[in-house]
């Protein structure tokens, strides 16, 4: 495959005007100016477009795509969780498939090529083969008690073994959904296992809401009340949700903390030492009206921040270009290339998938095209934040959206 565009933004390095990119198999083999198509090569002349790396979305809940729009915002975070749980219980296999198809179309339109998908419904694992994405599936463990946790893990691993042969390009793992959705013994066992023999990153929703902070620091509030009803016990109050993880097995090294909206200075010191990446979702953050996200504090502390879309119950558009634009609006003084990295190199590294995120020789052939503005900005990378839709998407050297695309093969 040979692609040529008015501009190529490789992610690392300067923009390449009137550049071209060659993909053989699923790898980039050549990039630069002055390249010419080879005999018999499939050529895509993108005209006045910008070619850039495919976007890496490390936080999405495909199995929550049964809602076409965000749920009505409830008075408390706990009531929102209750509403999502109710939707899960009534979701049919047909509704799940329809939701995944809708979400896939949205994600492609927003430039996603690699996905970190959070699986709460075992039926979702088979659905991954209906999407064109590659990435990492985080199978969420939610249980209260070692017996229930062992049974759930056995079911997850059995289903993974069934679908693994049919989902090439996907890595798999079992991860806690959140610190408060596992009993203390199981949480500690999982975290210690990860520290001793990491098979991939864990991804834990942590310090997401004020109610979660209240649960761990005072054992009060709506979420604490609900979890007591479910029979959970958390031991003595601690300083923060991150502190709770540290006291029950430790922060999972080289892993992801999802949201991390409410952090103490001590939390950040511990997160830096554990090589934690924080995943932020601007649309979801605004939906819940959280306190301002500590983006600048995290950057100053040397803690990487990646972008993700979260899921439909709290996100209007599963569109990474939208998330990038919102991040740019919040932090206009940040370097455009650094902001792009939150959806490319930083996110790929967080998923332990280091063969993507830039358009360089040897990397996976994942790229997207967006329209070039009539007047290119002084820094061509700034043009990314005006784009709303990817006009073309290539994943592993395979066209999955754009001209001449006729559906998944």
Task: Give me the half-sphere count of Cα atoms (radius 13 Å) on the Cβ side of residue 284.
Answer: 25
For 334-359, what is the mean pLDDT? 98
pLDDT at 384: 97
Share of the chain above pLDDT 70, in %: 98
Element (H, E) at 73: none
pLDDT at position 175 over 90 = yes
Residues constituting the chain: 409
pLDDT band at 401 (very low <50, low <70, confident <90, very high): very high
Per the structure, how many domains does the chain have?
2
- Whose tokens are 């219980």? That residue is 89
Same domain (yes/no): 30, 87: no
pLDDT band at 28 (very low <50, low <70, confident <90, very high): very high
Do the domain assignments include residue 408?
no
Do the domain assignments include residue 121?
yes
pLDDT at 409: 33
Bin 386: left if φ > 0, else alpha if -120 < ψ < 50, else beta.
alpha
Model confidence pLDDT, tens digit, residues 309-323? 999 999 999 999 999
For 215-233, what is the mean pLDDT? 97
pLDDT at 73: 82
pLDDT band at 67 (very low <50, low <70, confident <90, very high): confident
pLDDT at 154: 95
pLDDT band at 66 (very low <50, low <70, confident <90, very high): confident
Do the domain assignments include residue 406?
no
For 298-307, what is the mean pLDDT? 98
Do the domain assignments include residue 373?
yes
pLDDT at position 292 over 90 = yes
Do the domain assignments include residue 282?
yes
At residue 185's C-alpha, the angle toward residues 181 and 189, to 5°, is 100
Task: Please tell me the least confidently modeled range out of 86-95, 147-156, 260-269, 280-289.
Answer: 86-95
Task: Give the structural domain span for 139.
Answer: 55-350
Residues ≥6 apart with Cβ < 8 Å to 5 = 19, 20, 46, 47, 49, 50, 51, 369
Same domain (yes/no): 142, 285: yes
Same domain (yes/no): 181, 294: yes
pLDDT at position 408 over 50 = no
- Whose tokens are 């463990």? That residue is 141
Question: 344: closest CA among 308, 383, 294?
Answer: 308
CATH for 386: 2.30.40.10
Same domain (yes/no): 172, 240: yes
Residues ≥6 apart with Cβ < 8 Å to 401 = 108, 109, 390, 392, 393
pLDDT at 406: 45
CB 308 within 8 A of CB 59: yes
For 189-197, what is the mean pLDDT? 95
Do the domain assignments include residue 249?
yes
CATH for 164: 3.20.20.140
Question: 371: closest CA among 29, 111, 13, 32?
Answer: 111
Q: List the structure tokens of 218.
A: 């005072």
For 251-277, what is the mean pLDDT? 98
Do the domain assignments include residue 407?
no
Same domain (yes/no): 129, 206: yes
| Cα separation, 111 vs 353, whole angstroms | 17
pLDDT at position 80 over 90 = yes
pLDDT at 214: 98
pLDDT band at 203 (very low <50, low <70, confident <90, very high): very high
Same domain (yes/no): 43, 181: no
Model confidence pLDDT, tens digit, residues 88-121? 888 999 999 999 999 999 999 999 999 999 999 9
Average pLDDT, the chain: 95
pLDDT band at 145 (very low <50, low <70, confident <90, very high): very high
Same domain (yes/no): 185, 43: no
Same domain (yes/no): 156, 219: yes
In three-state secondary structure terms, 212 is helix
| Cα separation, 51 vs 28, whole angstroms | 13
| Cα separation, 80 vs 333, whole angstroms | 34
Q: Exposed, middle or buried, 18 (CB in 10 Å: 0-12/13-18/19+)?
A: exposed
pLDDT at 377: 95
pLDDT band at 15 (very low <50, low <70, confident <90, very high): very high
Beta bridge partners of 255: none
Sign of the dihedral defined by the CA atoms of residues 222, 205, 291, 68, in that order: negative
Q: List the structure tokens of 161.
A: 């073994």
Same domain (yes/no): 213, 102: yes
Do the domain assignments include residue 384?
yes
| Helix intervals (H) in 110-221 | 123-127, 146-163, 184-196, 210-218
For 132-143, what is the mean pLDDT? 97
CA distances (Å), origin 289, targets 283, 292, 319? 10, 9, 20
**CA-based radius of gyration for the chain:** 21
pLDDT at 254: 97
pLDDT at 404: 62
Same domain (yes/no): 34, 65: no
């Amino acid at each position: 495959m040979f692609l040529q565009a008015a501009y190529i933004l490789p992610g690392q390095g300067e923009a390449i005007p009137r550049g071209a990119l060659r993909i053989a198999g699923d790898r980039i083999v050549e990039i630069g100016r002055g390249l010419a198509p080879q005999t018999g090569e499939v050529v895509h002349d993108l005209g006045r477009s910008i070619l850039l790396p495919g976007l890496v979305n490390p936080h999405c809940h495909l199995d929550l795509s049964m809602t076409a729009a965000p749920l009505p915002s409830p008075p408390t975070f706990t009531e929102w969780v209750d509403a999502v749980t109710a939707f899960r219980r009534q979701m049919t296999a047909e509704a799940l498939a329809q939701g995944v198809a809708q979400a896939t179309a949205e994600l492609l339109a927003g430039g996603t090529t690699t996905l970190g998908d959070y699986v709460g419904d075992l039926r979702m694992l088979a659905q991954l083969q209906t999407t064109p994405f590659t990435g990492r599936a985080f199978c969420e463990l939610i249980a209260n008690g070692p017996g229930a946790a062992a049974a759930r893990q056995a079911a997850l691993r059995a289903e993974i073994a069934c679908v693994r042969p049919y989902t090439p390009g996907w890595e798999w793992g079992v991860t806690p959904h959140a610190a408060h959705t596992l009993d203390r013994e199981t949480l500690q066992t999982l975290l210690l296992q990860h520290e001793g023999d990491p098979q991939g990153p864990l991804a834990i929703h942590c310090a997401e809401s004020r109610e979660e902070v209240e649960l761990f620091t005072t054992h009060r509030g709506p979420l604490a009340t609900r979890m007591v009803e479910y029979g959970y016990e958390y031991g003595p109050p601690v300083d923060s949700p991150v502190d709770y993880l540290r006291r029950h097995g430790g922060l999972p090294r080289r892993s992801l903390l999802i949201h991390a909206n409410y952090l103490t200075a001590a939390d950040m010191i511990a997160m830096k030492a554990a090589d934690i990446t924080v995943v932020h979702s601007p649309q979801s953050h605004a939906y819940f009206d959280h306190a301002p996200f500590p983006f600048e504090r995290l950057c100053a502390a040397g803690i990487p921040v990646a972008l993700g879309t979260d899921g439909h119950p709290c996100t209007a558009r599963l569109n990474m270009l939208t998330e990038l634009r919102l991040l740019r609006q919040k932090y206009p003084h940040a370097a455009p290339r650094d902001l792009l990295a939150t959806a490319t190199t930083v996110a790929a590294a967080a998923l332990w998938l280091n063969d993507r995120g830039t358009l360089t020789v040897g990397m996976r052939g994942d790229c997207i095209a967006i329209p070039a503005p009539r007047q290119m900005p002084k820094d061509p990378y700034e043009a990314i934040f005006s784009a709303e839709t990817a006009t073309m998407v290539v994943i592993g050297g395979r066209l999955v959206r754009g001209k001449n695309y006729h559906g998944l093969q």
